[in-house]
Amino acid sequence: MAQALGISGTYQAIRGANGPAQHIAVSLVGLTYCGMFAGMVPDAIIGAWAGSSLLVLLATVWFKKIWLKRALLLDFVLSFTVLTFYFLHDHSAPSGPVYHVMTAHGMEAGSRGQSSMSMLDMFSHGLACAMMALWSLYLANLVQRQLLEAQRFEVAFEGEVLK
Amino acid sequence: MNMDMDMLTPILIALIGAGGLWQLLSLKAKQGHEALMRDRS
C-alpha cells in the first residue's frame, strides 16, 4: 500500500517534479488569469503575458529544453511586470465617468455601475499573480537544473547522448 | 505609445527584481552543478 509522503517527501517530490504536466498547467493557468487584470494593467502587457503563456505550451510540446527555459523565463518576467503594475495601480481611482450630484449635504461625486475592489478581491488578485510569477521562476530553475544534470551525465558517459 | 514614468516605473522594478531573482537561482544551480562535477573527478 502506498505510504504518505510526509513533509520531507512532499518537498523532495515538488523539488524534482519537472514533468510536462506542470509546464502545460502553468501555461493554461497563465492564459486564464491574464484577463483578470484588464483595466488595471496596460493591454500590451496583458497581451504579451498571454503570448508568453502560449509560447510555454508550444515549447513544451515542440521545442528544445533550452527554448522551454527561455519561454518560462519570459513568462516569469511578464507575470512579475503584471504584478508590479497591479500593485502600483490606484485601485480607488474610478475607471469610468464620475457624476457630480447636488444633494442635501452639498455636491457629491458618484459613478455608475462600478464597484470598488474589496480587500479580499485585491488580496486574491495579488496572490494569483505572485503565484504565477513564482511558479514560472521555479519551473525555469528546474529546467535549468535538468539541463545541467544532462550535461553532467553526458560528461560521465563520455559524450554519449542519453535518451 | 506614450511611455511616461507611470508606465516605466513598474517595468523597471519588474526587470530589476526578476533579473536579480533569476541571477541568484541560476548561480545557485551552477554552483551545485560544479560541486557535483568536482566530486566526480
For residues A72 and A125, is the Cβ–Cβ distance under 8 A?
no
CB within 8 Å of A71: residues ≥ 6 apart:
A52, A55, A56, A58, A59, A63
Q: In whole angstroms, give the CA distance from residue B27 to residue B8.
A: 28
Tell me which residues of chain A have a pLDDT lower than 70: 1-2, 90-96, 112-117, 155-163
Rounded to 5°, the CA angle B10-A145-A131 comes to 35
Q: What residues in chain B have their Cβ under 8 A from chain A's Cβ atoms? A: 1, 6-7, 9-11, 13-15, 17-18, 21-22, 25-26, 29-30, 32-33, 36-37, 40
User: Is pLDDT above 70 for B32?
Assistant: yes
Q: In whole angstroms, give the CA distance from residue A56 to residue A28.
A: 9
Helix (H, G, I), strand (E, B) or coil at A158: coil
pLDDT digits (tens, 9 = 90+) for A4-18: 878 888 887 777 777
User: Is pLDDT above 70 for B4?
Assistant: yes
Distance from CA of A112 to the nearest CA of B (A): 26
Nearest residue in A to B29, CA atom: A145
The pTM of the whole model exceeds 0.90: no
Task: Determine, for residues B10 and A84 on separate chains, whether the beta-carbon distance falls below 8 Å.
Answer: yes
> Grid coordinates standing for A8?
520531507
ipTM: 0.81
For residues A122 and A83, is the Cβ–Cβ distance under 8 A?
no
Q: What residue has cell string 497591479? A: A86
pLDDT digits (tens, 9 = 90+) for A95-122: 667 778 888 888 887 776 666 667 788 8
